[in-house]
């Protein structure tokens, strides 16, 4: 017999539960329960009595663990209803305790039909079961899927279970259905095209092989012959095949990750769906679409004119073939791709709106629809709340920045005797922050000037190499030495050139292109004083995250974004 681990032996010893039903003479069930040993023949004084005729005791499923037995018992009780709850005819006092599990019994319909019949318990005839699986969608995969089904049908399978799931996924519904049928003793042979169709997880596949050996179910691979685990040689061969299937899957995942890293460094667009206004060019680079690029520019003009995603989304169907909803239009506008950048590894929890966070952004990879500066100005307009009953013009440069240091809510502005104040008006705040505007504004301007000087110094300093870039430089040095010793090796010369290009791309994507003259202007305090309220607000929000004000104006702390 197969050698089982201690964990597998414990699991097999616990698979001793079964689910049973007591039937009326007309074949309808009046009690459903679960248990072990002679539980079905015992007296149930609390709920129901055992039928005098043993043929009216029907075993629905056996070889189950306690959790699965609880699940099936509760499912059948809920299906037929309890007399105590007024939902059915069962004499069960309790509704059962369904387990929190993802097990799916494909044979429930067969159990239901078995309960409907009278007489002796029906005996299932073991069948030849076929199982086929593919991992992804696509025309090629569809052809491979149909080829598996045809081969299994030609091999004499009475029933074929198929699914589209990754072999590394543990909770596959199709595989759970196979294991349930094998456990119930309804399968005499399990047929697959290859052993890796059972899964790419060696531990999970070994568990299925042990279960089939325990239930005396033969496993046959059309491309590998019969898989037997009873002998030591067969056990070793089965373990080798399942381990190699998992190793192959892991190697494929590793190659794909490495290729994606190279493609990202090359500025390729890796998503299937192209952003509106662009087409796919050579090397999967984004290029302007022959027709939609002009329409995308008009969409941006409409956003400038109307200042609202909702209004533009309503007007698009009248002139544009692209008709997104307002939230989809906002996601398109916030995507760095329209500014000429490529973003990768989006944090899905951040959403697709203003708060989206990207793991990597590669700058200046294709022609932009809008420059970075114009996008910032338009974003400030679109973020402004719309109000149809009063003007939405920006009146104060500090609007949206002021926060109470005690409760964190926004401060409100008011004037008293010609003096402007920012105060917290929140009803639950016990230490309301506030200060005069003429005290806050110089501190905010000084913080912006200091941040501008810091950024200007960072631009002037030589860029520091990150660990990834340092490693690539070391690899380049070694490759150059090898190429110097082999001057006639064209493959090595091409590899050196490619490595140099990747290093240049990585250096170019370390930080966005920033205009030093802009930061030079920001270092002048008079530059802020001469700006309009709207210009002040745009500049303040570009540099500062918020301004925290304590009670009585102590302290006043600007919070930089960087």
Active site residues: 135
Helices and strands, counts by H and E, the chain? 17, 18
Torsion of CA 167, 170, 175, 176, to 10 degrees: -170
Residue 240: count other Cβ atoms within 10 Å of its Cβ. 11
410 close to 403: Cβ distance less than 8 angstroms: yes
Residue 499 CA to residue 266 CA, distance in Å, equals 11
CB 133 within 8 Å of CB 165: yes
282 burial via Cβ count (<10 Å: 0-12, 13-18, 19+)? exposed
d(C-alpha 424, C-alpha 10), whole Å: 64
Query: Do 518 and 402 contact (CB within 8 A), yes or no?
Result: no
Pull the structure tokens for residue 482. Answer: 């090898």
Token pair in block for residue 157: 């399978």
CB contact at 8 A, 556 and 435: yes
Q: How far is CA 247 from the centre of its chain?
A: 24
DSSP code for 228: -
Q: How far apart are CA 535 and CA 521, in angstroms?
A: 14
Sheet holding 419-423, edge to edge: 412-416, 419-423, 434-436
> Which of these, 512, 277, 509, 561, lies nearest to 372 by C-alpha position?
512
Greatest CA separation found in the chain?
Answer: 101
Helix, coil or strand: residue 345: strand
Long-range pairs of 406-409 with CB within 8 A, sequence gap ≥ 24? 406/430, 406/431, 406/432, 406/433, 406/550, 406/551, 407/432
Number of CB atoms found within 10 A of residue 114's CB: 17
Contact at 8 Å (CB) between 169 and 162?
Answer: no
Query: 276 φ, ψ to 5°?
Result: -60, 130
| DSSP strands (E only) in 225-352 | 225-227, 278-280, 286-288, 342-346
The full DSSP string for 136-156 is S-SHHHHHHHHHHHHHHHHTT
The answer to whether the bond into 555 is cis (omega within 30° of 0) is: yes
Burial pattern 528-556, b for ≥16 Cβ within 10 A else e, equals: beeeeebbbbbbbbebbebbbbbbebeeb
């Amino acid at each position: 017999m197969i050698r089982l681990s201690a964990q597998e032996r414990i699991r097999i010893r616990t698979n001793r539960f079964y689910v049973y039903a007591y039937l009326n003479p007309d074949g309808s069930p009046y009690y459903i329960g679960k248990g072990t040993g002679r539980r079905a023949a015992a007296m149930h004084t609390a709920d129901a009595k055992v039928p005098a005729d043993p043929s009216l005791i029907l075993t629905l499923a056996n070889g189950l663990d306690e959790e699965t037995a609880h699940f099936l018992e509760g499912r059948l009780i809920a299906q037929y209803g309890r007399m105590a709850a007024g939902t059915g005819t069962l004499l069960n006092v309790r509704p059962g305790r369904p387990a929190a599990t993802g097990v799916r019994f494909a044979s429930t319909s067969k159990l239901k039909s078995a309960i409907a019949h009278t007489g002796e318990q029906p005996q299932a005839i073991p069948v030849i079961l076929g199982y086929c699986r593919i991992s992804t969608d696509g025309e090629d995969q569809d052809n491979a899927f149909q080829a598996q089904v045809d081969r299994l049908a030609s091999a004499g399978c009475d029933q074929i279970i198929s699914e589209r799931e990754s072999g590394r996924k543990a909770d596959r519904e199709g595989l759970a259905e196979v294991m349930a049928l094998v456990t119930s003793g309804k399968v005499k042979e399990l047929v697959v095209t290859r052993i890796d169709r059972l899964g790419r997880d060696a531990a999970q596949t070994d568990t299925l092989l042990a279960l089939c050996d325990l239930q005396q179910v033969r496993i046959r691979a059309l491309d590998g012959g019969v898989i037997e685990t009873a002998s030591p040689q067969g056990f070793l061969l089965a373990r080798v095949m399942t381990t190699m299937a998992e190793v192959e899957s892991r190697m494929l995942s590793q190659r794909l990750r490495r290729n994606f890293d190279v493609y990202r460094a090359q500025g390729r667009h890796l998503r299937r769906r192209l952003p509106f206004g662009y087409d796919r060019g050579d090397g999967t680079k984004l290029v302007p679409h022959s027709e939609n690029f002009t329409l995308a520019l008009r969409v941006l003009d409409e956003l400038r004119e109307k200042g609202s995603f909702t209004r533009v989304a309503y007007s698009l169907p009248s002139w544009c073939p692209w008709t997104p909803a307002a939230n989809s239009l906002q996601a398109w506008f916030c995507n760095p791709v329209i500014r000429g950048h490529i973003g990768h590894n989006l944090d899905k929890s951040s959403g697709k709106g203003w708060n989206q966070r990207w793991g990597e952004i590669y700058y200046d990879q294709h022609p932009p629809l809008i420059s970075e500066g114009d996008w910032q100005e338009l974003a400030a307009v679109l973020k402004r709340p719309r109000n149809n009953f009063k003007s939405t013009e920006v009146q104060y440069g500090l609007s949206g920045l002021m926060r109470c240091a005690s409760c964190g809510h926004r401060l409100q502005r008011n004037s008293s005797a010609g003096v402007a104040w920012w105060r917290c008006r929140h009803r639950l705040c016990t230490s309301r922050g506030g200060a005069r505007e003429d005290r806050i504004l110089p501190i905010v301007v000084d913080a912006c000037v200091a941040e501008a000087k810091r950024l200007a110094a960072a631009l002037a300093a030589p860029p520091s190499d990150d660990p990834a870039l340092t490693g690539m430089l070391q690899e380049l040095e070694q490759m150059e030495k090898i190429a110097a010793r082999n001057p006639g090796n064209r493959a090595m010369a091409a590899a050196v050139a490619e490595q140099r290009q990747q290093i240049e791309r990585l250096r170019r994507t370390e930080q966005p292109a920033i205009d030093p003259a802009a930061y030079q202007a920001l270092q002048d305090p008079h530059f802020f004083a001469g700006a309009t309220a709207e210009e002040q607000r745009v500049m303040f929000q570009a540099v500062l995250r918020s301004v925290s004000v304590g009670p009585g104006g102590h302290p006043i702390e600007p919070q930089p974004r960087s």
